[in-house]
A = this chain, B = another copy of it.
Amino acid sequence: MVSIRVAAAQINTTVGDIRGNVDLINKYINHAIDMHADIVAFPELTVPGYPPEDLVWRRDYIKANQDALKEIAKTSKNILSIIGFISSENGSLYNSAAGLFNGKRIFTYNKINLPNYGVFDEKRYFESGSEYVVIKYLETILGVNICEDLWKNPGPSETQASRGAQLIININSSPYEMGKNQKRIDLLTSMSKRNKCFALYVNQVGGQDELVFDGGNMLSGPNGELIASTSTFEENLLFADIDIGEVVKSRSDSTSKTNGNGNTKPFIIPQKIVSIEKEYANQALKEYADQNQKTRLRPTTVIKTNKLENIYKALILGTRDYVYKTGFSQVFIGVSGGIDSALVAVIAMDAIGPQNVVAVSMPSRYSSQSSITDAEILCKKIGVRLITLSIERAHSAFESILSDTFKDTESGSTEENIQSRIRGSLIMALANKFNCLVLTTGNKSEMATGYATLYGDMAGAFGVIKDVPKTLVYELAEHRNSIGPGAPIPDNILKKEPSAELKPNQKDSDTLPPYNQLDRIIDYYVEQRMEPNTIVQTELKKSDGVTRETIDKIVKLIDLNEYKRRQSPPGIKITGLSFGRDRRLPLATKW
């Protein structure tokens, strides 16, 4: 028997765009009403957007976010809308969830567990809540909590279930990273199993600066089964009909099984329960019952995803949203004929359409003909306009300006950087003139080792593959070629040896260890925070282990190049630890 129909809105809000966010919320509430849902839940901080950072100290912003609730409450006709917003009380701010119903705010839950690690700074802004709100709605007892609250065991869900909650709704703004979705599924299903309840997971979707939210809304049941999950990286509305009787049965079974041994806490309905007024509830219930035969819903199928597909989608969504949400529509990309810029150009094409992408080839006296040709072939294949600007005249001008000062010095990285900076200045000039963004093409292996020129190839608004190690760049290129449409990245680009082409016959491997080794050491040192000595010991056990000398060299490069990363453009986080707010290190340090 169906007791309640729930909907989970996976929507793409924008930080600070309260008007736009409210319109989006209202649209999805109306959609849920059309589908006769009893409850519709939205992501964490739906109204103000997440993460709002220091905007939370703007009183006008906080007021606007609170005023917006009144409007959303009016839209919530005979439907309980769970909305994320910033509440304030006695000078403190809370990361909160409001329950809105027929024009009124029925309850507010304040997030209890505030993450203050990785990219999160929530203790900078919010106080922890202290009340474990439980609500009786129609015939169902609900608990609502927020994001990090799910990651604690025992956490608010346990307290709410012990107070009778049969359905726990956890609203999130949980950013994507590789492998995280499985962690969330495990958390949700084990929580619902532990508490013998239904559990609805609601996440936002969309890019916000360095973060991409992947959605992945889902529902799990009292036996820990994953009942439904939605597609990721796009907006949608998950619906499911829940039979609360299953919770009642599961709990009474378990009480009788554990009869007398006291292991299972009783599920008690507390006296102080927020209860939604019967006349409304009954009316909704009546309407619902009227419609129910017609609209009986099967829960959405559980969606399976794979690693490369997810990463690729994250890069598309992160790029698209950064461009659009900063108010731009077109981008310039410097294409060298190498794999990094080819991948970025294809991602940009997939994100905002080939007509909005302009590739810029800036050959020098050291550029090989094959690089120039490869860039041309790429652009033709993906239908992107290509501008070619030879840097020779500027290159000779710089040499001539500096010839006196540099005489008797040996040519080296200074001379290479000059070429890269001429390119940076040219592409920025294009961007300034035509009011477009520049997408940078450096990968994580380069950002880690500083194999990039500050103000040169690092010049730009947004680093699309900044958190993608070089080996993964190849995998993603091959993945994109395999899924179609087309196989946009020319074979020659996939196969040639990487080179910066800043001096004759230069190869990345002249300076850097092979990328498979380099990426492994970067993963150990940066993402796993392994110490150099531990890395040496780990590598010793491997047949293709990297020598101590190479490990020391890589670690030193990573440490020394902190200053470059500090001035690098933001880019999309896809790993467990990206360069950016995830990793905060001093510059003037001797460690």
Contacts and interface: CB of A to CB of B under 8 A. Distances in A.
Contact of A405 (B387, B391, B401): B387
A57 B397 CA distance: 48
A397 B402 contact: no
Interface in A6-20: 14-18, 20
A233 interface: no
Interface stretch (A130-138, A283-291, A321-329): A321-329
Contacts of A414: 429, 432-433
A325 B414 CA distance: 23
A569 to B, nearest CB: 6
B389 A393 contact: no
Interface in A365-393: 387, 389-391, 393
B429 A584 contact: no
Given A428-B455, A455-B455, A401 B409 contact: no
Contact of A425 (B390, B409, B425, B586): B425
B413 A53 contact: no
A589 B321 CA distance: 11
Nearest to A207: B588
Contact of A55 (B16, B207, B398, B586): B586
A394 B401 contact: yes
Contacts of A454: 428, 459
Interface of A: 14-18, 20, 49, 51-55, 57-61, 116-117, 121, 123-124, 207-209, 321-322, 325-326, 387, 389-391, 393-394, 396-398, 400-402, 405-406, 409, 413-414, 417-418, 421-422, 424-426, 428-430, 432-433, 454-455, 459, 461, 529, 531, 533, 563, 566-570, 583-591
Given A387-B405, A563-B461, A586 B58 contact: no
Contact of A400 (B393, B432, B563): B393
Q: How many copies altogether? A: 2
Contact of A124 (B51, B57, B117): B117
Given A17-B590, A52-B586, 17 more contacts: A16-B591, A17-B591, A49-B589, A116-B123, A116-B124, A123-B123, A207-B588, A326-B588, A390-B401, A394-B394, A398-B429, A421-B421, A421-B424, A455-B459, A566-B570, A567-B569, A570-B587
6 contacts: A14-B590, A15-B590, A16-B591, A51-B586, A326-B588, A418-B429
Nearest to A325: B588
Nearest to A58: B531
A228 to B, nearest CB: 31
Contact of A585 (B53, B123, B207, B587): B53
B406 A425 contact: no
B401 A587 contact: no
A401 B406 contact: no
A496 to B, nearest CB: 27
A529 B57 contact: yes
A68 to B, nearest CB: 13
Interface centre among A15, A52, A396, A567 (most CB of B within 10 A): A567
Contacts of A393: 397, 400-401
Given A54-B583, A59-B531, A459-B455, A590 B387 contact: no
A44 to B, nearest CB: 15
A321 B588 contact: yes
A421 B430 contact: no
A15 B124 contact: no
A451 to B, nearest CB: 15
A591 B531 contact: no
